């Protein structure tokens, strides 16, 4: 389980949307967004296996092997 209450990134807080292709993200994030549409709000829960376990975690973000990640995503555009 991930560290409770710990946010490692927030495009909402930063004031600008994040832009990326699905091939650029962790498998769990890709699975959670595939088939979604502009205007959707999605809650994505990602296990360590579909997150950063294969990379040995993501130390810069404070993510350890086995951590679960949770994302709330408001999709503003899809290309």
Domain ranges for the chain: 21-74
Q: Kindly provide the b/e burial profile for residues 16-32, where b requires at least 16 CB atoms within 10 angstroms of the residue's own CB.
A: eeeeeeeeebbebbbeb
Lowest-pLDDT choice from 19-23, 34-38, 39-43? 19-23
Q: Which pLDDT value is given to residue 44?
A: 97
Q: How far apart are CA 25 and CA 51, in angstroms?
A: 9
Q: Are 75 and 33 in contact (CB under 8 A)?
A: yes
**What pLDDT is stored for residue 4 in this prediction?**
64
pTM of the model: 0.83
Check residue 1 and give its pLDDT: 44
- When pLDDT is averaged across residues 50-60 and rounded to a whole number, the result is 94
């Amino acid at each position: 389980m991930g560290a409770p209450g710990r946010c490692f990134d927030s495009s909402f807080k930063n004031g600008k949307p994040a832009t990326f292709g699905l091939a650029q993200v962790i498998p769990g994030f890709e699975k959670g967004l595939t088939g979604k549409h502009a205007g959707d709000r999605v809650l994505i829960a990602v296990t360590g296996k579909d997150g950063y376990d294969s990379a040995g975690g993501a130390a810069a973000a404070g993510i350890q092997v086995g951590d679960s990640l949770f994302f709330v995503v408001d999709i503003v555009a899809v290309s």
